[in-house]
Amino acid sequence: MELTSLELDMLAGKHGEGVALAMKVQVGTGKAFYAKRMVPITRTHVAASAQEGDLYFVTKLLDLGARCVVSPTTNPSMDTGYVEEHLGPLTDEGRDRVQASNDAYRRIGATLTLSCTPELEKNVPAFGEVVAFSESSATPYVNSVLGARSNRESSISALCAAVTGRVPEYGLLLDENRKGEVLVEVEAKIEDDFDWSLLGYAYPQKYKGAEVPVFTGIEKRATPEGFVQFGAELATSGAVAMYHIAGITPEAPTVEAAFGGNAVKHRVTITDADLDRVREQFSGESGPIEYAMLGCPHLTIRQVGEVAALVDGKQLAVDTWILVSSLTLELAERMGFLGVIQRAGGHVVADTCMDIPGCWDAYYGRPGVTESQKCAFYCQVYGQRYAVRPLAQAVQAALAGEVVK
Amino acid sequence: MSEHEYACRPISEGIGEGEALLSTDALCFALCEPDTGCVIESGHCLDGRSVAGKVLVMPTGKGSSVVQADGLYRLIMKKTAPAAVVIQTPEPVLVSTIIAMEVPLVDEVDPAFYDDIEDGDRIAVDAVAGKIVVHRRNGPGEREAR
């Protein structure tokens, strides 16, 4: 890997030990992928997720004197004040970790947006822009839907990029690696947002390779929410950071253009049965539930409006948490959705993620409902038993206090 | 006891030694129970088996951008992390996480390694010099009789 004299100085510690550590991670990663050089970035998105490993690394960088030169937006952590008021006291450990994480990211120079959908608001890259986005649901969106260029960054590598202002040039930053190699013939009917999340989870189950897939047979463009959920599940079930949808996404006006001269290395067919298998895998047990956790990734104002329409004038039977960005919360208030949902007994809360250890312990080991396979998958480690349903059905379950098959 | 040496490429420098734990599936460290290091992902070929102190041999990594780092960190804190990791295909989240958490990681291992290696073999990964040494408890004859 050829580094400029500035980059060599950064690696050698002449710009501080924090910068040197960030460069060490990036150069090591670059070498693993045979990157030839580093290139500047103009946007980053990082974690700030108040998870232990993440806090460890940002604190280490800070203690070594690192500061961001490209201020990143951040993933959610938790509105501890709201959750403590409405759910009960958090563990000291959980509350302290959220505080420490927010403080650390503020000090290192991040912009505390605390939302996992930066690609929809506050940090939207342009076509061709080179960026470093962690948050595995955002990365496929910026590459595939927007045509910007980001590798699948970890919370760690994206923070390193924010500190150094550059990334190693490999993978999806290069034209040749953005072309399709896998032809995915979608025979299943893809009609609503939930179908997109099922498709996103199903594809990596049928093909585990990291090559860029080209989805064909889809006529109707996904909604922004559908694309967000599709990417979230592709990255949960597998490690897909870029896809094409022929005739829909910007680098795939045709199947031929999406492949860019590449041979079809592998063919995958996705049928209704494949989607049903995912639906069944995440259907959970029917019966009583104790909570509903919606918004992984964060729900948009359109989805909050749908929830409000469903609960208007009714009472939710279980704790219902609707996780959103601070902008969506503000809009929900302006639009009157917040009042409707609160009168039904539900909570719309900003800045918050369902996967913050030590903060949702009340629900550990308990049955609940969610609209997100990603949520159900990662919360397994806490013994949370989720039934996954399309958003409207999940809200119905929260009203009824039980899930039905 | 027999000893075999294979060349590999160091990605995250360090030296680690332990029993080989062979996985045909990519792994996300967040789906390992921190106290025991046991994989808890249903359907995973290592479901129920512990990565603690093992040399984890797997195709690549998977999982969301934050949880991979958090999962590995929790294992390190509980001393249930793998001693070293051997992969076939680098994956950016896994690679950057493992470098930052300072666990030895190699790839591009001599293909003969994959023909010869068996679950439970004792392996020393030298992710500085770029070599893997496999210590066999049993010769091939005894192995078949096992």
| Structure-model confidence comparison of residues A174 and A236, the more confident one | A174
Which of B60, B63, B100 lies nearest to residue A57, judging by beta carbons?
Answer: B100
At residue A209, the pLDDT reads: 84
Provide the CATH number for the domain formed by B3-135 in this structure. 3.50.30.10
pLDDT in tens, A209-241: 889 999 999 999 999 999 999 999 998 888 889
Measured between CA atoms, the residue of chain B closest to residue A27 is B96
Q: How far apart are CA A306 and CA A295, in angstroms?
A: 13
Catalytic residues of B: 64
Q: Does A134 touch chain B (CB under 8 A)?
A: yes
Q: Which residues, in sequence order, are CB contacts of B31 under 8 Å at separation 6+?
A: A380, A381, B39, B40, B41, B44, B63, B71
Q: Which pLDDT belongs to residue A208?
A: 84
Task: For residue B99, give the nearest of A29, A53, A374 by CB distance.
Answer: A29
Q: Report CB contact under 8 Å: B99, A28.
A: yes
| Whether B69 and A156 lie within 8 Å, measured CB to CB | yes
Instruction: Identify whether the C-beta of residue A391 lies closer than 8 Å to the C-beta of residue A303.
Output: yes
Cα–Cα distance measured from residue A84 to residue A82, given in angstroms and rounded to the nearest whole number: 6
B141 and chain A in contact, CB less than 8 A? no
pLDDT in tens, A133-145: 998 899 999 999 9
* Sign of the alpha-carbon torsion through B62, B68, B69, B71: negative
Q: Are A61 and A18 in contact (CB under 8 A)?
A: yes
Which 294-313 residues of chain A touch chain B by CB within 8 A?
none
Higher confidence at residue B3 or residue A17?
A17
Please report where in the chains the tokens 């959220």 appear, as a residue: A98
When pLDDT is cut at 50, 70 and 90, the band that residue B137 belongs to is low
Q: How far apart are CA A200 and CA A180, in angstroms?
A: 17
For residue A241, what are the contacts with CB-CB under 8 A and spacing of at least 6?
Answer: A136, A139, A140, A143, A150, A151, A152, A171, A172, A235
- In whole angstroms, give the CA distance from residue A345 to residue B96: 43
**Mind telling me how many Å the CA of A309 is from chain B's nearest CA?**
32
Nearest-CA neighbor of A239 among A171, A325, A167, A185?
A171
A158 touches chain B (CB under 8 A): yes
Instruction: Among B23, B27, B93, pick the best mutation site for testing chain A contact (most A Cβ within 10 A).
Output: B93
The ipTM (two decimal places) reads: 0.89
pLDDT at B144: 43
Predicted confidence at residue B139, as pLDDT, reads 54
Residue of B nearest to A210 (CA): B91
- Give the residue from A34, A116, A154 with the most B CB atoms within 10 Å of its CB, the best one to mutate: A154
Domains for chain A: give ranges and CATH numbers. Answer: 5-174 (3.30.499.10), 179-280 (no CATH), 283-403 (3.30.499.10)
d(CA A250, nearest CA chain B) in Å: 24
pLDDT tens digits, A62-104? 999 999 999 999 999 999 999 999 999 998 988 999 999 999 9
- B contacts of A157 (beta carbons < 8 Å): 92-93, 96
Q: Min CA distance, A47 vs chain B (Å)? A: 7
Smallest CA–CA separation between A49 and chain B, in Å? 8
CB contact under 8 A, A157 and B96: yes
Encoded tokens for B114: 């994959």
Lowest-confidence pick of A48-52, A87-91, A157-161: A48-52
**Parallel/antiparallel/unpaired status of strands A44-46 and A73-74:** parallel
Structure tokens that stand for A147 in this block: 């045509």
> Is it the case that residue B130 has pLDDT exceeding 70?
yes
On the question of pLDDT at A373 being above 70, the answer is yes
Would you list the domain boundaries of chain B?
3-135
Report whether A391 contacts A300 (CB < 8 A).
no
Please, which pLDDT band fits residue B138 given cuts at 50, 70 and 90? Answer: low
* Confidence grade of residue A293 (pLDDT, cut at 50, 70, 90): very high
Q: What's the mean per-residue pLDDT of chain B?
A: 91
Cβ B99–A24 below 8 Å, yes or no? yes
**The predicted structure's pLDDT at residue B143:** 47
Q: Which of B65, B86, B103 to mutate to test the interface with A (most CBs of A within 10 A)?
A: B65
> Is A378 within 8 Å of B40 when comparing Cβ atoms?
no
* pLDDT-above-90 percentage for chain A: 89
CB contact under 8 A, B66 and A135: yes
Q: CA of A308, closest CA in chain B: separation in Å?
A: 30
Residue pointed to by tokens 């995912």:
A278
Does A12 contact B at CB distance below 8 Å? no
Beta-carbon neighbour count of residue A252 at 10 Å?
25
What is the pLDDT, as a whole number, of residue B146? 37
